[in-house]
Amino acid sequence: VTGDNTAIARLPAGYHSPQLDVEVRLNTNESPEAPPEGFLDELAGAVRESAGLNRYPDRDARLLRTALAEVHGVRPEQVWCANGSNEVLQALLLAYGGPGRRVALFEPTYALHSHLAKLTRSTLVVGQRDGDFLVAPGEAERVTALQPDVILLCSPNNPTGLSEPRSTIEGLLSAAGEGLLVVDEAYGQFADWSAVELVDAAAPAAGASPVVVRTFSKAWALAGLRLGYAVARPEVIEALTAASLPYHLDSLKQLAGVLALRHDDEMRARVERIVAARSMLAGGLASLSVEVWPSDANFLLFRPLHHDAHQVWEGLVARSVLVRELSGWERLKGCLRVTVGTTRECERFLEALAEVLV
């Protein structure tokens, strides 16, 4: 079907980050390490023994939601799982956004947030982050005064790196009224606190409790699994269920999620290794002619001081290193983002960058 009158023709272009065949892939914030061997063995065994693939999956994903509820100290009715946190965000906007509703966010931030707002034909309310790319109290006030139905807040923020202090989230919650505050914690395991602490099952108004969105794609080393979830008040979980397809979460994924959670210690150890590699990487960048921003996540934002960002990106690709170029983003002109890889990958990146910047 063609023609400008089709609904598809009026949609924004799809969201994607270019992939190239290189040796050092540091462009999509994946884990540089594979998931634990023990997990893979358990998964292979469980697929044979208990996947029940002739039957439809458990629509309520009870085992997985119960396991996640235990991790976060909430009730299973407060957890909702989907195919990646991107699908959780989509369901949230299907349920709470849409024509005639306002969706607020603070730029620069994860591009999928505004993309989903447009896709659901919500009215976008754009706030601006401050110099460190955090949300200043005055800007939070200005945005909440416009009474958004949904506020999307990425913390730690992608692609800039810092997480918001508790006071900012509390300020937004108390000003949000009936609006829903969604905190995207894709990098939550790298931060020193989580807004899950503020989820209140008995909160009287929607705005009084955040919806926290998490993923298995980053710290859990399972980007290929496509599994994410929300922790929220039970009413929000009911709305998300109503906005999703029946049997949207397959049996294999439910099984894999439950088994992955048993390897929590290994996940934490991996996060520690990545944080150590991040310090090394930040130290290396500091000795080159680039500006580097602080990070509470598994990536670093940087800007070459005397070189064009696109040429730097090309120079790195020529040395088989792929990072994310952000130079086209308003407020991030000349910037690039590098994922923290293994120590060896970080070294390869630093060597290549030093060559490109001569």
Residues found near ligand PLP in the complex (CB under 6 A): 29, 84-86, 110, 154, 158, 184, 186, 215, 217-218, 223, 228
Minimum distance from residue 327 beta carbon to ligand PLP (Å) = 19
Minimum distance from residue 94 beta carbon to ligand PLP (Å) = 15
Residue number, 86 or 254, with CB nearest to ligand PLP:
86
Residue number, 303 or 324, with CB nearest to ligand PLP:
324
Minimum distance from residue 213 beta carbon to ligand PLP (Å) = 7
Task: Kindly state the DSSP code that residue 318 receives in the 8-state scheme.
Answer: H
- The interaxial angle of helices 264-286 and 343-356, nearest 10 deg, is 20
Sheet of 299-304, strands arranged across: 290-292, 299-304, 336-339, 324-325
Residues pairing with 5 in the sheet: none
Minimum distance from residue 85 beta carbon to ligand PLP (Å) = 3
Q: Which token pair is 4?
A: 């400008």
Residue number, 31 or 86, with CB nearest to ligand PLP:
86
Residue number, 10 or 331, with CB nearest to ligand PLP:
331
Residue number, 339 or 356, with CB nearest to ligand PLP:
339
Q: CB-based contacts of 44: which residues, under 8 Å, 6+ apart?
A: none
Minimum distance from residue 123 beta carbon to ligand PLP (Å) = 22
Residue number, 110 or 349, with CB nearest to ligand PLP:
110
Return the residue matching tokens 């919500």. 122
Minimum distance from residue 162 beta carbon to ligand PLP (Å) = 13
H-type alpha helices, the chain: 37-50, 62-72, 85-96, 111-119, 137-144, 166-176, 234-242, 251-261, 264-286, 309-318, 343-356
On the 0-12 / 13-18 / 19+ scale of CB atoms within 10 A, 121 is middle
